[in-house]
Every structure is written in structure tokens, then in C-alpha cells.
């Protein structure tokens, strides 16, 4: 599984043609306590760079942008009862949605972990 990051603080873990999307530890830290997650519908077409999910926290509501284009194949239903999973485990149990990739070439514009860590160090 390969992990990629965006400048908007989303991550995508890619396994074959399926990507699992979430927000980074940095993002959840900036948002504070997550109170609600509005997930996309299974079967929805998502476009790279467009907002398809909203994370509400005690500080603000924040759009989550899809790192790549595809079709939503699954959502993390556990977040309905426990949205705080995004705070507790943003890169594992706090994942948001999975999608079937439309074009794996879109991954080329994303950062690896080292590049992302260098990026947030400059913020």
C-alpha cells in the first residue's frame, strides 16, 4: 500500500485501484475535537480537488477534497457514532471514504510522507 498526501492535508492510501482517503494528523490537530463527519454517498462520482466530505469540529467546519477522481465504494460508518476516531487515529481507524480510482496517473501530483512533512514544517 502506498500513501500520498495533498497540500490541503488529505491522505490517500492506494492498494491496486482502490484508494482510502482521510485527513492528516496535522489537519485533525488544527481542527480540534471532531464532532461530526458528513461523508459522501457510496456510488458518488468524485473529482480530484473537489470537496466531497465535510468534517465539523469545535473550531470550524472544513471541506475535505478528494486527492484523485473516482467513484466512492465505501464510507467509514463508524464515524457516525464516533467522529472522534478522526482525532484519535487519523491515518487508520479515522479514514473517511474509499474510492475506485478513475485515473491512477493523478497520483503523480501528490506528495510522499517525506515531502508532506517538509511542507508542514514550513507552515
Decide: 71 and 43 in contact? Cβ < 8 Å: yes
The CA distances from residue 89 to 45, 70, 78, 86, in Å, are: 26, 24, 12, 6
CATH number at residue 57: 2.40.50.100
Dihedral of the alpha carbons of 23, 24, 27, 33, in degrees to the nearest 10:
70
d(CA 13, CA 98): 9
d(CA 69, CA 46): 5
The pTM assigned to this predicted structure is 0.96
User: Phi and psi for 49 in degrees, rounded to 5?
Assistant: 85, -5
DSSP labels, 47-58: -TTSEEEEEEES
- Counting the structural domains of the chain, the total is 1
Counting every residue written for the chain, the total comes to 123
Q: Which residues pair with 97 in a beta bridge?
A: 21, 75
User: Phi and psi for 77 in degrees, rounded to 5?
Assistant: -60, -25
Split at pLDDT 50, 70, 90, the class of 1 is: confident
pLDDT digits (tens, 9 = 90+) for 18-69: 999 999 999 999 999 999 999 999 999 999 999 999 999 999 999 999 999 9
The mean pLDDT value for 112-118 works out to: 97
Structural domain that includes position 28: 2-121
Q: Is the pLDDT of residue 110 over 90?
A: yes
Amino acid at each position: 500500500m502506498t500513501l500520498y498526501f495533498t497540500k490541503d492535508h488529505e491522505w490517500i492510501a492506494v492498494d491496486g485501484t482502490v484508494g482510502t482517503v482521510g485527513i492528516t494528523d496535522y489537519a485533525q490537530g488544527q481542527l480540534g475535537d471532531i464532532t461530526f463527519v458528513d461523508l459522501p454517498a457510496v456510488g458518488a462520482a468524485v473529482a480530484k480537488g473537489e470537496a466531497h466530505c465535510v468534517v465539523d469540529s469545535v473550531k470550524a467546519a472544513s471541506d475535505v477534497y478528494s486527492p484523485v477522481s473516482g467513484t466512492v465504494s465505501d464510507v467509514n460508518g463508524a464515524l457516525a457514532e464516533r467522529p472522534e476516531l478522526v482525532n484519535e487515529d487519523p491515518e487508520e481507524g479515522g479514514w473517511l471514504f474509499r474510492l475506485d480510482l478513475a485515473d491512477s496517473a493523478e497520483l503523480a501530483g501528490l506528495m510522499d510522507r517525506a515531502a508532506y512533512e517538509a511542507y508542514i514544517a514550513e507552515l
